[in-house]
Amino acid sequence: MTRQSRTSPAGSERSLHQAYDTALLDLDGVVYAGGEAIAYAAESLAAARDGGMHLAYVTNNALRTPEAVAEHLGELGIPTEAGEVITSAQAVARLISEQVEPGAKVLVIGGEGLRVALRERGLVPVDSADEEGLAAVVQGYGGPDLPWSRFAEASYAIHRGVPWFASNTDLTIPGARGIGPGNGAAVEVVRIATGAEPQVAGKPLPPMHRETVLRTGAERPLVVGDRLDTDIEGAFNGDVDSLLVLTGVTDGAQLLRAEPAHRPTYVDRDLRGLLTGQPEVVAAGEGFRCGGWTAVAAADALELRGEGEPLDGLRALCAAAWTRAGDGSCTLDAGKALARIGL
């Protein structure tokens, strides 16, 4: 099902864990939040796995190794093998390895996840821009205590013409105390200092999707995420289907305003959506109906009529908003309609 033509959430008679062979799951906001498992996540994932679906955990965070991520998931009641975790560090390491000689030295501005991924590809992580024969600079999230001097080290090498790579450019990263600056913010520091542009591997760009498919062997993957601009756009760029769950950063208003690249195939409240089919959204007169709700794009606002399951109301509203917006973003007021369904 192509992203380019999406003007409505799709329906599915089969449960999603039976319709797709592999779930490519984002972590923060989907599986856990603030270090704790999100409600229904562990049991839903266990049921999907028992039903034959392969699970892969896909993260833009390049700091932790796959082993560390798998251990954390295990502690949350989600048994996971390291091979089921795919990180942007792995994606950027492959990208670098395709452009430099085997055994090349790479200046690392980041944490252990990057170093492990580089060694896996036969590259040599180093810490100084003065290393002889330096072939690349790679930048990934290094935690809140990464010294400012590391950004300077990257700048010295880049000014000398060394190719620059970044694991991802997420501007923010959630933590136990709130939202902090992510790797994208650190990349901006080096960009300002050098005027250069890095090659980027992480979501939503194709290298991350390619890495995930290569490592999982997925033939009918379903991307599962909470962010429109990374998870859902990554699925769009990879031309695969996606499920948006409302347990993270995206709310109903943002979803209704989504441009084509940010429109998911399916929408559900949480990971229980993997275990069910998805209701069909159908044209109904001047609007769109899902379940007991009908949504209409009026002159200056989205209107919702009827009653029933709130998520069905949101799905109908998506169809009305996305159809009205076409290739753009819907600007109609949706406040009253969303208030009716508590979203």
Query: Is residue 9 helix, strand or coil?
Result: coil
67 C-beta neighbours (distance < 10 Å), count: 14
> What is the token pair recorded at 219?
């033939």
Q: How many CA atoms lie within 13 A of 112 on its CB side?
A: 6
Measure the CA–CA gap between 246 and 318, rounded to whole angstroms.
14
Measure the CA–CA gap between 130 and 45, rounded to whole angstroms.
47
> What is the token pair recorded at 244?
């948006």
Measure the CA–CA gap between 299 and 187, rounded to whole angstroms.
43
> What is the token pair recorded at 322?
């996305």
Catalytic residues: 26, 28
Look at strands 22-25 and 221-225 and give their pairing: parallel
With left for phi above 0 and alpha for psi between -120 and 50, is residue 122 left, alpha or beta? left
Residues 6+ apart with CB under 8 A from 323: 7, 8, 288, 297
Closest CA to 8 of 222, 320, 255, 271: 320
The secondary element (H helix, E strand) that includes residue 297 is strand 293-297
